[in-house]
């Protein structure tokens, strides 16, 4: 049996080849978009949150920064070891769909906070999980 994985927007498609028959299934995943201002406050807790979202809840973690700040945030996150569970850094004009972790309520499916810290990281994870369940049911 051979397995071919094709990654597309909105999910990964797995194709299985077994005795000249092809089978496929779609693995759906969600995206968590974190605004760049929240990533460097208390970096260890951003790293923990992105790790939990990536591995426990199969979410892609994307950081959103202004176009001229993408290189800055990439170098800071990479240097401090906070980029390990981040898929990419995008700018707001891309309009990526997903659950947002933001400082302001500008989009639907947004969890708002002023910082990611030891005090609120568990609460943020629970709120993101709840929004993911709501989004799946829509």
Q: Return d(Cα 77, Cα 62) in angstroms, integer.
A: 12
For the stretch 76-96, pLDDT in tens is 999 999 999 999 999 999 988
Average model confidence (pLDDT) across the chain:
84
Return the pLDDT at 20: 52
Query: Which one is predicted more confidently, 58 or 20?
Result: 58
Domain boundaries, the chain: 29-137
Cα–Cα distance between 98 and 100 in angstroms, integer?
Answer: 6
pLDDT confidence of residue 111: 96
Q: Give me the sheet containing 21-28, strands edge to edge.
A: 2-8, 11-18, 21-28
CATH architecture, domain 29-137: 3-Layer(aba) Sandwich (3.40)
pTM for this prediction: 0.79
Task: Provide the pLDDT for residue 95.
Answer: 87
- What are 1-30's pLDDT values in tens digits? 444 444 444 454 444 545 555 444 444 578
pLDDT on residue 26: 45
The first and second tokens of residue 53, run together, are 């979202």
Question: Using an 8 Å Cβ cutoff, are 43 and 7 in contact?
Answer: no
Give yes or no for a contact between 66 and 91, defined as CB atoms under 8 angstroms apart. Answer: yes
């Amino acid at each position: 049996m051979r397995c071919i994985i094709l990654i597309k927007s909105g999910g990964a498609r797995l194709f299985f080849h077994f005795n000249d028959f092809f089978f496929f299934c779609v693995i759906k995943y969600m995206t968590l978009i974190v605004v760049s201002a929240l990533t460097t406050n208390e970096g260890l807790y951003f790293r923990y949150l992105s790790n939990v979202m990536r591995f426990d809840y199969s979410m892609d973690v994307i950081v959103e920064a202004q176009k001229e700040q993408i290189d800055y945030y990439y170098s800071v996150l990479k240097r401090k070891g906070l980029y390990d569970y981040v898929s990419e850094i995008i700018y707001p004009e891309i309009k990526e769909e997903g659950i947002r972790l933001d400082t302001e309520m500008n989009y639907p499916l947004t969890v708002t906070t002023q910082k990611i810290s030891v005090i609120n990281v568990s609460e943020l994870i629970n709120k993101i999980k709840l929004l993911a369940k709501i989004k799946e049911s829509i």
